[in-house]
A and B are shown apart, each in its own frame.
Chain A
Amino acid sequence: MLKVLIPTIMLFPTIWLTSPKWLWTTTTAHSLLIASISLTWLKWTSETGWTSSNMYLATDPLSTPLLVLTCWLLPLMILASQNHINPEPISRQRLYITLLASLQTFLIMAFGATEIIMFYIMFEATLIPTLIIITRWGNQTERLNAGTYFLFYTLAGSLPLLVALLLLQQSTGTLSMLVLQYSQPLQLNSWGHMFWWAGCLIAFLVKMPLYGVHLWLPKAHVEAPVAGSMVLAAVLLKLGGYGMMRMMVMLDPLSKELAYPFIILALWGIIMTGSICLRQTDLKSLIAYSSVSHMGLVAGGILIQTPWGFSGAIILMIAHGLVSSALFCLANTAYERTHSRTMILARGLQVIFPLTAVWWFIANLANLALPPLPNLMGELMIITTLFNWSPWTILLTGLGTLITAGYSLYMFLMSQRGPTPNHIMGLQPFHTREHLLMTLHLIPVILLVTKPELMWGWCY
């Protein structure tokens, strides 16, 4: 664990002491090296349970895929931001990359935490760099509103979580995940316990986000600069899923009844947000609502608490993280050229940017869950386990899959096909950097087809 955490912390001296000319080169190379080292986490040395490095930080088959995704995403964020941050004064460039690196550090400690309180503190800590990135570097005045929504939705959800965790500490004497997985099932039979159950989960449901409390997400994703959108979509949403999976082990047997309304909300959210996607004019907003839709499926899979549900949730989280981030990068390339997120403004791009059309194609195919990509495998596992729980869910999930295919295709056809308007003809060609960025997003998704057991978690 430290062999990744220490280099990540050493990114800060790298950022501030490198000469301005080589800032982006060194940070890109440094973070790619960290990402390569993080792949060693995939070697699980124990057959079950945790690969401990010490009492406070450990990895297990649930947290490892998310950790590797986090470490992989930092160089991608740096690559994506390079163009639009470059004109700024050098200290602001350094500050920007510092915020990204600090997010990385908090996220590694969050996913690797063995104490739930440490996970909670890191969960909250990730809010601060993200808030600064959205409100300082966002492009429209709405970014202030977006930052407010983002901050207060998450805080309002996580304050009950703090109370719930302190109560848990009081009753069990420990908050270490290493110990709690072996503790006796709690006696949960009163109304107070039901509120405690809700308190444990609300923060993560807001973060995921669940459909009823999802309003912060389109605002935050749209107003954030590209690196902010990438990290939000790819990793921060997964903090919610990860937290839920960790807390679930302690919340039985109440979850059998209490999860019902949340599962229904999640499933309904898939349909509703999918339908909203079909009516979007703003490209980033479409991708943001698509994230809500996919995360609704993940939330349903986790709340079902079956092995297939958990495995499907992890697979879908990883696959969605990579693909959603890829789509935001593509949207940003259009934004940097036209300075608008309106979809009908940047249309017919295939004729001018043929290779980029390939990236758009693959990213959209992945988004609509084309086999054999892991997006489909995760979705199928969750849909199957939901069907096993109640056959009626197939109506909602099947319709959701259909609508997902609909809006993904709509996004592709709208941006790539059709007549190319005149004002598009003079757009700047695509940079090698942007092609590399898309490659580094999409190749891992394709490679994961060959070794999915990396993502199956500990429930297989």
Chain B
Amino acid sequence: MASRLSRIWPTLSRVRLSAALGSRCVSQTPKSSASNAAVASDLQPVSPAAQDSHGHAEVSPFEKNPDFHGFHHHDSFVDEWNMRLAFFFGISVAIVIGGTFIHYLPDHGMRHWARREAERLIKQRESQGLPLMTENYYDPSTIVLPSSGEE
């Protein structure tokens, strides 16, 4: 079913869309600097080799090398090894090993410890019926205040 659809879809789309798009494929916006800038202009004469790689106008690199990975156009050996090294150093080393290193970093500032300690103390005090926190941080009997008569 899908293969049948894929065979007739190009004709279908061409019939349906080309009628609508036929006259509209040419840009009809007034020439302004913004729209001019949005389209690449030929600044220098491009060599045929550059044209090939840039525009892929004539030959797609996938024709010559079906396993083209996007790294090197003409040499499939370099292309393949570039892909392998990029994946190895990018994912296996940087993300996996680096990620493991980051995961096992020590608890900076004891923040995770502080959260666990707080939860432990809350559970402990609730089970003992004590208030979660006493109002006075210091014992008031140890505080010596000057009497109001002195200076």
Binding site for B on A (CB under 8 A): 21-22, 24-25, 28-29, 32-33, 35-36, 39-40, 42-44, 47-48, 72, 75, 79, 82-84, 86-88, 139-142, 222-223, 281-282, 336-337, 339-342, 419, 421-423, 425, 428-429, 431-434, 436, 439-440, 443-444, 447, 451, 453-454, 460
> Is B102's beta carbon under 8 Å from chain A?
yes
If the complex has contacts A32-B89, A422-B17, are A222 and B37 also in contact, measured as CB distance less than 8 A? Answer: yes
B31-70 at interface with A (beta carbon < 8 Å): 33-41, 43, 47, 49-50, 53-56, 60-62, 68-70
In the complex, what distance in Å separates the CA atom of A348 from the CA atom of B91? 31
- Is B89 a contact of A29 with CB atoms below 8 Å? yes
- Is B17 a contact of A421 with CB atoms below 8 Å? yes
What secondary structure prevails in chain B residues at the interface with A? helix
Measured CB to CB, the closest approach of chain A to B142, in angstroms, equals 29
In the complex, what distance in Å separates the CA atom of A39 from the CA atom of B17? 52
If the complex has contacts A24-B72, A28-B89, are A422 and B62 also in contact, measured as CB distance less than 8 A? Answer: no
Interface segment out of the listed B78-86, B118-126, B129-137: B78-86
- Is B108 a contact of A440 with CB atoms below 8 Å? no
Chain A residues, CB < 8 A from B61: 428
In the complex, what distance in Å separates the CA atom of A422 from the CA atom of B108? 56
Q: 7 closest pairs, A vs B, by CB?
A: A431-B70, A433-B70, A32-B89, A432-B69, A87-B50, A25-B82, A39-B98
- Is B87 a contact of A436 with CB atoms below 8 Å? yes
In the complex, what distance in Å separates the CA atom of A44 from the CA atom of B111? 14
Nearest residue, chain A, Cβ from B24: A421
Nearest residue, chain A, Cβ from B68: A431
Measured CB to CB, the closest approach of chain B to A218, in angstroms, equals 10
- Is B33 a contact of A86 with CB atoms below 8 Å? no
Query: Can you identify 8 A-B contacts, CB atoms within 8 angstroms?
Result: A21-B72, A25-B82, A75-B90, A139-B43, A282-B38, A421-B21, A432-B83, A433-B70
- Is B71 a contact of A440 with CB atoms below 8 Å? no
Nearest residue, chain A, Cβ from B110: A47
Chain B residues, CB < 8 A from A439: 91
In the complex, what distance in Å separates the CA atom of A140 from the CA atom of B44? 11
Measured CB to CB, the closest approach of chain A to B38, in angstroms, equals 5
- Is B69 a contact of A342 with CB atoms below 8 Å? no
Nearest residue, chain B, Cβ from A339: B40
- Is A451 a contact of B82 with CB atoms below 8 Å? no
Chain B residues, CB < 8 A from A434: 70
Chain B residues, CB < 8 A from A421: 17, 21
- Is A422 a contact of B18 with CB atoms below 8 Å? yes
- Is A432 a contact of B70 with CB atoms below 8 Å? yes
- Is A433 a contact of B83 with CB atoms below 8 Å? yes
Which of A28, A84, A339, A425 meets B82, CB within 8 Å?
A: A28
- Is A25 a contact of B54 with CB atoms below 8 Å? no
Chain A residues, CB < 8 A from B95: 440, 443-444, 447
By CB atoms of chain A within 10 A, which of B18, B39, B68 has the most?
A: B39
- Is A36 a contact of B89 with CB atoms below 8 Å? yes
- Is A141 a contact of B89 with CB atoms below 8 Å? no
Chain A residues, CB < 8 A from B108: 44, 47, 453
In the complex, what distance in Å separates the CA atom of A428 from the CA atom of B90? 25
Nearest residue, chain B, Cβ from A431: B70
If the complex has contacts A36-B89, A86-B53, A142-B37, are A25 and B81 also in contact, measured as CB distance less than 8 A? Answer: yes
> Is B103's beta carbon under 8 Å from chain A?
yes
Chain B residues, CB < 8 A from A429: 62
In the complex, what distance in Å separates the CA atom of A222 from the CA atom of B108? 41
Chain A residues, CB < 8 A from B99: 447
- Is A36 a contact of B38 with CB atoms below 8 Å? no
Chain B residues, CB < 8 A from A339: 39-40, 54-55
Measured CB to CB, the closest approach of chain B to A350, in angstroms, equals 15
- Is A340 a contact of B54 with CB atoms below 8 Å? no
Measured CB to CB, the closest approach of chain A to B41, in angstroms, equals 6
Measured CB to CB, the closest approach of chain B to A356, in angstroms, equals 13
In the complex, what distance in Å separates the CA atom of A35 from the CA atom of B86? 13
Nearest residue, chain B, Cβ from A40: B101
Chain A residues, CB < 8 A from B87: 436
Chain A residues, CB < 8 A from B111: 453, 460
Measured CB to CB, the closest approach of chain A to B58, in angstroms, equals 12
In the complex, what distance in Å separates the CA atom of A139 from the CA atom of B41? 7
In the complex, what distance in Å separates the CA atom of A281 from the CA atom of B49? 32
Nearest residue, chain A, Cβ from B85: A29
In the complex, what distance in Å separates the CA atom of A24 from the CA atom of B50? 18
> Is B144's beta carbon under 8 Å from chain A?
no
In the complex, what distance in Å separates the CA atom of A423 from the CA atom of B25? 9
> Is B116's beta carbon under 8 Å from chain A?
no
In the complex, what distance in Å separates the CA atom of A453 from the CA atom of B111? 10
In the complex, what distance in Å separates the CA atom of A423 from the CA atom of B41? 19
- Is B102 a contact of A451 with CB atoms below 8 Å? yes
In the complex, what distance in Å separates the CA atom of A444 from the CA atom of B105? 17
In the complex, what distance in Å separates the CA atom of A127 from the CA atom of B109? 37
Chain A residues, CB < 8 A from B86: 25, 28-29, 32, 75, 79, 433, 436
